[in-house]
Amino acid sequence: MPKGASELTGMVLGFDFGLKRIGVAVGQTVTQTASPEAIVNSRDGKPDWEHISALFEKWQPVAIVVGLPMRLDGSEQTLTQPARKFGQRLSGRYHCPVFYIEEQLSSIEAEQRGIQSDHIDDHAAQIILENWLQQTFGKQT
């Protein structure tokens, strides 16, 4: 866990990176809860930065969490590096610390929660952010 994460207090934006759609969730370090917020469209791997900027303006997050897609054996997959690069761009644009969390099967977990396919991405981001909040702040569910 990056040093200092557990001292953060405030809103956090979580991202489930994809080349066509990026799920976004908003969470709170005090309550250690998260909820789905938006699905940002991406064209040819280029996110809708205006939409993302509006989310940063609205929520004023103290941190960013990006899910790193990994294979079940823990090795990197095709989207791991693009997701890491996306996190670096977020940090550079919005001057906010980025924390990464390995994620596997968050979209499948969202489907198992009964989420419709057109809302999978933001719910997957919620799962990613909830997992990070639990790991960082130690809330037991």
Q: Would 121 be classed as within a structural domain?
A: yes
Q: Would 58 be classed as within a structural domain?
A: yes
Q: Would 38 be classed as within a structural domain?
A: yes
Specify whether the CB–CB gap between 128 and 122 falls below 8 A: no
- CATH number of the domain that 81 lies in? 3.30.420.140
Q: Would 25 be classed as within a structural domain?
A: yes
Q: Which residues contact 76 (CB under 8 A, 6 or more apart)?
A: 70
pTM of the entire structure? Answer: 0.88
**pLDDT of the chain along its 141 residues, tens only?**
445 777 888 999 999 999 999 999 999 999 999 999 999 999 877 899 999 999 999 999 999 999 998 888 888 999 999 999 999 999 999 999 999 998 876 666 666 666 666 778 898 999 999 999 999 987 544
Q: Would 4 be classed as within a structural domain?
A: no
Amino acid (one-letter) located at 96: C
Q: Would 3 be classed as within a structural domain?
A: no
Which domain covers residue 73, as residue numbers? Answer: 9-136
Q: Would 112 be classed as within a structural domain?
A: yes
CA separation for the pair 122, 30 (Å, rounded):
21
Number of domains in the chain: 1
Surface-to-core class of residue 92, CB atoms within 10 Å of its CB (0-12 exposed, 13-18 middle, 19+ buried): exposed
